[in-house]
Amino acid sequence: MERRIVGFRQDDERDWVADLECGHGQHVRHSPPWQVRPWVLTPEGRAGHLGTWLSCRLCDESGTLDER
């Protein structure tokens, strides 16, 4: 289910995690060629993605209703 990004934080390994409006988090790594997200490397890039939609696997798995 699609959820809005409301913030970012780093995990213990210093990888970036997007905080989603549902309360879940999802890694947003930049590790080419598998994951190409250079925007996550800068404060400006992350700020530019606040409010954008990201699929939440945990909501999908739990069957949480999509409130969009």
Residue 68 domain-assigned (yes or no): no
CA–CA gap between residue 4 and residue 35 (Å, rounded): 20
For the whole model, what pTM was predicted? 0.85
Q: Which domain holds residue 26?
A: 2-62
Q: Dump pLDDT digits (tens) for 34-60.
A: 999 999 999 999 999 999 999 999 999
Total count of domains within the chain: 1
- Residue 35 one-letter amino acid: Q
Q: Which residues, including other chains, have CB under 8 Å from residue 13's CB and lie 6 or more apart?
A: none
Q: What is the pLDDT of residue 58?
A: 93
* Contact by Cβ (8 Å): 3, 21: yes
CA–CA gap between residue 46 and residue 38 (Å, rounded): 10
pLDDT over threshold 90, residue 68: no
Residue 57 domain-assigned (yes or no): yes
| Six token digits for residue 32 | 């080419």
Q: Dump pLDDT digits (tens) for 2-44.
A: 999 999 999 999 999 999 999 999 999 999 999 999 999 999 9
Residue 19 domain-assigned (yes or no): yes
Residue 31 domain-assigned (yes or no): yes
* Mean pLDDT across 58-63: 87
